[in-house]
Amino acid sequence: MPQQKSSRPVVPISKMARRLQTVAWLIAIAVVLGVAAFYSRGIGATYAQSKAVGAARHWKYSPAIWWLKWAQWLDPDNPESYLLEARCRRVLGRLDLWQRNLRTARAKGIAPEWITIENQMNAITSGKLPDNIDPLRTRLVQAGYSNEEISTALVRGYLAIRQADKARLLLEQWESADPGTPQLDFAWGFFLIRQHAQDDAEKRLWSALKKQPDHELARMLIAEMYDTQKRLRESLE
pLDDT category of residue 29 using cuts at 50, 70 and 90: very low
* pLDDT at site 19: 62
* pLDDT at site 36: 40
* pLDDT at site 34: 45
| φ, ψ dihedrals at 59, nearest 5° | 65, 35
Instruction: Say if residues 67 and 48 touch (Cβ distance below 8 Å).
Output: yes
> pLDDT for 37-94, tens place per residue?
444 567 888 899 999 999 999 999 999 999 999 999 999 999 999 999 999 999 999 9
> pLDDT for 8-23, tens place per residue?
554 455 556 556 556 5
pTM (predicted TM-score)? 0.79
Instruction: Say if residues 138 and 117 touch (Cβ distance below 8 Å).
Output: no
DSSP notation for 147-216:
HHHHHHHHHHHHHHTT-HHHHHHHHHHHHHHSTT-HHHHHHHHHHHHHTT-HHHHHHHHHHHHHH-TT-H
pLDDT category of residue 131 using cuts at 50, 70 and 90: confident
Nearest to 79 by CA among 32, 118, 119, 111: 111
Q: State in words which class domain 36-110 has.
A: mainly alpha
Distance CA 103, CA 110 (A): 10
How far from the centroid of its chain's Cα atoms is residue 108's Cα? 17
Q: Where are the domains of the chain?
A: 36-110, 180-237
The proportion of the chain whose per-residue pLDDT surpasses 90, expressed as a percent, equals 73
Q: Which residues contact 190 (CB under 8 A, 6 or more apart)?
A: 152, 155, 156, 159, 201, 221
Nearest to 52 by CA among 91, 10, 5, 19: 91
Distance CA 76, CA 94 (A): 22
